[in-house]
Amino acid sequence: MKDCLFEPITINQLEIKNRIYLPAMHLGMAVGFEVTEQILNFYAERAKGGAGMVCVGFATVDELSGSPLNIGAHKDSFIPGLTRLADTIKNNGAKSAVQINHAGRYNPSFFMNGKEPVAPSPLASRLTHETPHELTLDEIKKTIDAFAQAALRVKTSGFDAVEVLSGTGYLISEFLSPLTNQRSDVYGGSLANRMRFGFEVMAAVRDAVGVDYPLIVRMNGNDFMPGGNSRQELTEYAQALAQGPADALCINVGWHEARVPQIVTCVPHGAFSYLSRSIKEKVDIPVIASHRINSPETARELLADGMCDMVAMGRSLITDPMLPEKARLGEENQIIHCIGCAQGCFDNLFKVKHVECLCNPEAGHEGQKNLEKTKNPKKVMVVGGGPAGMSAALAASLRGHDVTLYEQSNRLGGQLYLAAAPPGRDDFSRLAKDFEEQLKVNKIPVFFKQTVDGKMIASEKPDVVIVATGAIAVTPPIPGIDLPHVVQAWDVLEDKVVTGSRVAIIGGGAVGVETALFLAEKGTLSAEAVKFLLVNKAETPELLYEMATKGSKKLVLVEMLKQVGKDIGKSTRWGMMQELSRAGIKSVTEHTVTEITPAGLTMEKDGASVTIEADTIVIAAGSASLNSLESVLKEMQLPFKVVGDAKQVALAFDAIHQGYAVGLAIGN
């Protein structure tokens, strides 16, 4: 039986070997708009991994359209670098494309040496808080020509196709949306007028590259912006594009300002494919679905069910460049899946750093790591099977060392399972299982329920010990902390304890927020129940929404700092804060708990005392490194490294990257 994921597809006259499309993603790896070795190495790995088509970008069309960290396509001087990139992708087996774009009012002035951003109308962006310059008719014509010339440079450089970004809240979608286009000339007002700029861009691009050159348009299926384009308008736009210049449509979702999560863990796999389906049913050109398609299973399901013609797998291929080839060879059990954490991809961009990946320490560092087999293999003992320990063991094994891992509990994964407990975060447990499978594939022995001490270490005679014993939950010295209704957040997340109907959580960091959301789910309707009651019209949609979001517990988060969730990544935090509000969870900040009583707790701010009644008090006051082996190993004078939380409590990203670096460095 044929695998629909690996059937070829044709766009214009270009045949692509399979249905996997690596969409353009901002990597932050260009320097002065120039293609770097880092970019070449990154895309070489993804092309080698088996994707049918690799689209890079976005690439700039003029000096106001992006930042020097973007790939440049606005000058002829960038053609040599683009040519190297096209050759790199094609020489490694994939078809190649460049996405060209103009960021419009999303481009902050500090990326343009103080120049004003531009837009159809002078309306401030919620992202940059800057008011853009309104484009004149002459400037509009120049911008349209800039798109055309950039597309021609893409073709001249040897790429197989060009993609134009017409969504996400960037310039073309700013013209399309009544929210950002308040013009009174031929480019504003009616839908036909608001579509005009986008159509003139596409027509100019088509004239520049010719009728036989594939033109893909990435557009929104839904902006998720109140007061913006309706789905009906976007569908009309898609139909018009399909009847004219476009050879394929890649369906994006949301603007950067939208309050609907789009790329993070809580978004169900393939959730937005309904948008590609609704457009596919109205057009006769290939339609590409995107967002949270992180496995071949999901991809095949979407293709088989007629939701799309291709699948865009972006961050999935950051996480595992070899995903397509593993799927083709029947090795899907070896895939490392993207978990939607956004810690290394999107959060890094907010820090003006290049893309990395929590799950894949090599991402963004291709060609820089020492992956050659060591000439001096050692016996390596890894103590602790959490993310740091597993990552260290895999890296050391990759270098050719004899590695054995010891875990005190009966499963691997450590705190990844705590992170997976709140609703919509199950992918964190998937990562634990993926790493465990990698240990099996690499034939690394794992011993469970092992308490490692000096005696065991002496008997095993390792050359090097990696201490990855993790952390323990902190118990703060609060009067009443030992009362029977006081429990630890970790025990709550592992469902080891029963909580009452009124719960106060001490600590509003990531663990406190996750615990609150975990408890808020208690008593709500499941997704299956909501669908059953909805399709049978048993209750109104409004009541079903209420029952799906309001649980059976009254929850209060108490935090000493000015805000809760301060240690949560920017890409994820706003969504989690939105969930706290939707669930009716009360947050009390800048208060210090002074006493826990049988009836609840007492807290204080500026000398004023406040009492909260609660049946259960949950302690989410952070964690402390657990590292009793370091002193033993020093006394034994045995080489060792401490990684992850055992060294310093931090994020899973830090633990995995640190473990990997230490594992690779052994024997150097």
Query: Per-residue pLDDT for 1 more than 80?
Result: no
CA torsion sign, 64 to 65 to 67 to 68? negative
Segment 75-99 mean pLDDT:
98
Band (36; pLDDT cuts 50, 70, 90): very high
What does the pLDDT look like over 625-642, one tens digit per residue?
Answer: 999 999 999 999 999 999
What does the pLDDT look like over 549-581, one tens digit per residue?
Answer: 999 999 999 999 999 999 999 899 999 999 999
Percentage of the chain lying above the pLDDT 90 cut = 95
Q: What is the mean pLDDT of the chain?
A: 96
What does the pLDDT look like over 637-665, one tens digit per residue?
Answer: 999 999 999 999 999 999 999 999 999 99
For residue 77, count CB atoms less than 10 angstroms from its CB and return exposed for 0-12, middle for 13-18, buried for 19 or more.
exposed
Query: Whole-angstrom Cα distance, residue 318 to residue 387?
Result: 19
Segment 290-318 mean pLDDT:
98
Quote the pTM value.
0.95
What does the pLDDT look like over 330-355, one tens digit per residue?
Answer: 999 999 999 999 999 989 988 889 99
Domain extent listing, the chain: 4-350, 379-472+624-665, 475-621
Segment 120-130 mean pLDDT:
92
Tokens of 200: 């003139």
What pLDDT was estimated at residue 110? 86
Query: Whole-angstrom Cα distance, residue 662 to residue 644?
Result: 10
Topology, domain 475-621: FAD/NAD(P)-binding domain (3.50.50)
379-472+624-665 and 475-621 share one CATH topology?
no
Residue closest to 427 by CA, chosen among 342, 506, 492, 503: 342
* 379-472+624-665: CATH number: 3.40.50.720
SS3 content of the chain, % helix, strand, coil (to 5): 35, 20, 45
Query: Whole-angstrom Cα distance, residue 364 to residue 344?
Result: 10
For residue 459, count CB atoms less than 10 angstroms from its CB and return exposed for 0-12, middle for 13-18, buried for 19 or more.
exposed
Topology, domain 4-350: TIM Barrel (3.20.20)
Band (449; pLDDT cuts 50, 70, 90): very high
Query: Whole-angstrom Cα distance, residue 564 to residue 585?
Result: 12
Band (367; pLDDT cuts 50, 70, 90): confident
What pLDDT was estimated at residue 627? 95
Segment 524-548 mean pLDDT:
97
For residue 606, count CB atoms less than 10 angstroms from its CB and return exposed for 0-12, middle for 13-18, buried for 19 or more.
exposed
What pLDDT was estimated at residue 395? 97
Residue-by-residue DSSP string for 375-389: SS--EEEEE--SHHH
What does the pLDDT look like over 491-500, one tens digit per residue?
Answer: 999 999 999 9
**Tokens 């000439």 belong to residue:** 375
